[in-house]
């Protein structure tokens, strides 16, 4: 866990020389996290300039602080995330840095090398090979990992580019201590949880592939792969996987896969852009089906989801998984072969993709040991259905 966010920005509140509070209405929330844009604040006479360096601060009243985080895009402040839960408005304050309160951390990225001694890294080139025996001695948990208070995921940072799930039984951030030298095996159930998914040669928990005709190509063996932590904050964190100069048939692709984890959710979001497309390709993601024989469909107004629910966690307990995407992006859902070369034992979802334009989807992991509602299909299906737009 890094401290990449310094919760300050250059702002000026009119009449900032005296104690003053303004309120901002909340209209855009996602699982208890609200986004408050710069324009929302400017409409309350809060201007952003270089005259004073003080942090903006949010409360549900002048006494109780709310967890908040600035969001930037292309080096520009776009607004703030605020842990608002059921609030309809929040109070905006300006505080000197010496009075800024400590905040709980509800998301975390852990990306660490084991050699010469255990230390976090912000970026790294992908390791060669397709074997845990090569990645495990080099990297904590074999690659970049990300978590919120409910669930955690990891990427196999080698040519497999697989996705895996850590089930959590506690809401604190745990990944800094998982898989470190001397720690118990994360394949065994611990107080905090465990690795709960068997991946094999499938797409696991939302790994990606490219479809050309009837052929599937896992993204992206043979490419120049790299990972970079883009940002890490108390409410949202993001890591980027990049694959350059990936040669398929007579083509060369460049792939960018941005992965975002937000507080309050039981999913991570993927944004995938591919440069070099000629127009006959689809993007594919999927769910391992080695312990499930049914694919369920859930439909919202603008989104669709495909999911499984069975005794498919590592020790046979209930686990529900789902992929949600925009209906307009969907091509079809299908099953890969159970045996053979390439991608197997996967319920796959193919999506339309245009050159260099991101396609977005979410991958859900709902473990019965995390919440009792996921001990039954009824609880899982109700949850997924309610989460669709």
- Contact of 339 with 332, CB cutoff 8 Å: no
Parallel/antiparallel/unpaired status of strands 76-83 and 46-47: unpaired
For the four alpha carbons of 279, 285, 289 and 294, in that order, the dihedral sign comes to: negative
Of the candidates 130, 193, 190, 197, the residue with the CA atom closest to the CA atom of residue 160: 130
Of the candidates 237, 256, 236, 238, the residue with the CA atom closest to the CA atom of residue 246: 256
pLDDT given at position 56 = 80
- Contact of 176 with 108, CB cutoff 8 Å: yes
Phi, psi of 329 (to 5 degrees): -90, -15
- Contact of 67 with 235, CB cutoff 8 Å: yes
338 pLDDT exceeds 80? yes
pLDDT given at position 49 = 57
pLDDT in tens, 106-155: 999 999 999 999 999 999 999 988 888 889 999 999 999 999 999 999 99
Instruction: Calculate the dihedral angle through the C-alpha atoms of 303, 366, 161, 2, rounding to the nearest 10 degrees.
Output: 100
Structural domain spans, the chain: 9-96, 108-387
pLDDT in tens, 30-55: 999 999 998 888 888 776 654 444 57
> Chain-wide mean pLDDT for the chain?
91
- Contact of 333 with 282, CB cutoff 8 Å: no
H-helix or E-strand spanning residue 386: helix 377-387
Of the candidates 210, 212, 187, 211, the residue with the CA atom closest to the CA atom of residue 197: 187
88 pLDDT exceeds 60? yes
CA distance 342 to 347: 14
For the four alpha carbons of 95, 96, 99 and 100, in that order, the dihedral sign comes to: positive
pLDDT given at position 6 = 45
Residue 296 has which token pair? 């369920």
Does the domain formed by 108-387 have CATH 1.20.144? no
Phi, psi of 191 (to 5 degrees): -55, -35
User: Could you identify the residue written with the tokens 């899982």?
Assistant: 380
**Could you tell me the pLDDT band of residue 73, with boundaries at 50, 70 and 90?**
confident
Least confident of 94-108, 226-240, 312-326, 361-375: 94-108
3-state helix vs strand vs coil in the chain, percent to 5: 10, 45, 45
Residue 387: CB atoms within 10 A of its CB come to 20
pLDDT given at position 269 = 98
End-to-end alpha carbon distance in the chain: 32
4 pLDDT exceeds 90? no
- Hey, which residues does 68 pair with through a beta bridge? 82
Task: Give residues with Cβ within 8 angstroms of 280, minimum separation 6.
Answer: 212, 213
pLDDT given at position 75 = 79
185 pLDDT exceeds 70? yes
H-helix or E-strand spanning residue 133: helix 132-135
């Amino acid at each position: 866990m890094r401290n990449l966010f310094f919760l300050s920005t250059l702002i000026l509140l009119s009449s900032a020389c005296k104690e003053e509070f303004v309120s901002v209405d909340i209209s855009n929330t996602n699982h208890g996290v609200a986004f408050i844009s710069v324009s929302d604040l400017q409409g309350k006479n809060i201007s952003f300039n270089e005259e004073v360096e003080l942090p903006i601060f949010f409360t549900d009243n002048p006494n109780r602080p709310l967890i908040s985080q600035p969001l930037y895009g292309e080096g520009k402040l776009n607004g703030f995330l605020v842990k608002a839960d059921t609030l309809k408005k929040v109070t905006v304050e300006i505080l000197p840095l010496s009075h800024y309160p400590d905040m709980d951390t509800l998301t975390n990225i852990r990306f660490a090398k084991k050699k010469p001694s255990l230390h976090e890294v912000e970026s790294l080139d992908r390791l060669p090979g397709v074997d845990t025996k090569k990645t495990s001695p080099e990297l904590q948990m074999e690659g970049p990992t990300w978590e919120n208070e409910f669930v955690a995921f990891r990427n196999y940072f080698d040519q497999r580019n697989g996705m895996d799930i850590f089930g959590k039984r506690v809401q604190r951030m745990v990944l800094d201590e998982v898989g470190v030298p001397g720690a118990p095996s994360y394949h065994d159930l611990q107080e905090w949880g465990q690795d709960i998914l068997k991946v094999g040669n499938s797409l696991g928990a939302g790994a990606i592939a490219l479809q050309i005709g009837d052929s599937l190509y896992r993204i992206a063996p043979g490419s120049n792969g790299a990972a970079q932590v883009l940002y890490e904050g108390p409410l949202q964190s993001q890591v980027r996987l990049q694959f350059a100069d990936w040669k398929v048939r007579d083509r060369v692709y460049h792939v960018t896969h941005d992965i975002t984890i937000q507080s309050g959710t039981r999913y991570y979001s993927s944004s995938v852009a591919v440069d070099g497309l000629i127009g006959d390709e689809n993007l594919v993601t999927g769910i391992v089906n080695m312990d499930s024989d049914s694919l369920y469909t859930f439909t919202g107004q603008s989104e669709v989801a495909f999911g499984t629910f069975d005794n498919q966690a590592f020790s046979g307990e209930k686990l529900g998984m789902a992929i949600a995407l925009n209906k307009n992006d969907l091509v079809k859902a299908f099953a890969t072969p159970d045996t053979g070369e390439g991608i197997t034992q996967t319920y796959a979802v193919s999506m339309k993709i245009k050159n260099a334009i991101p396609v977005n989807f979410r991958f859900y992991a709902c473990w019965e040991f995390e919440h009792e509602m996921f001990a039954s299909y009824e609880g899982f299906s109700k949850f997924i259905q309610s989460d669709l737009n």
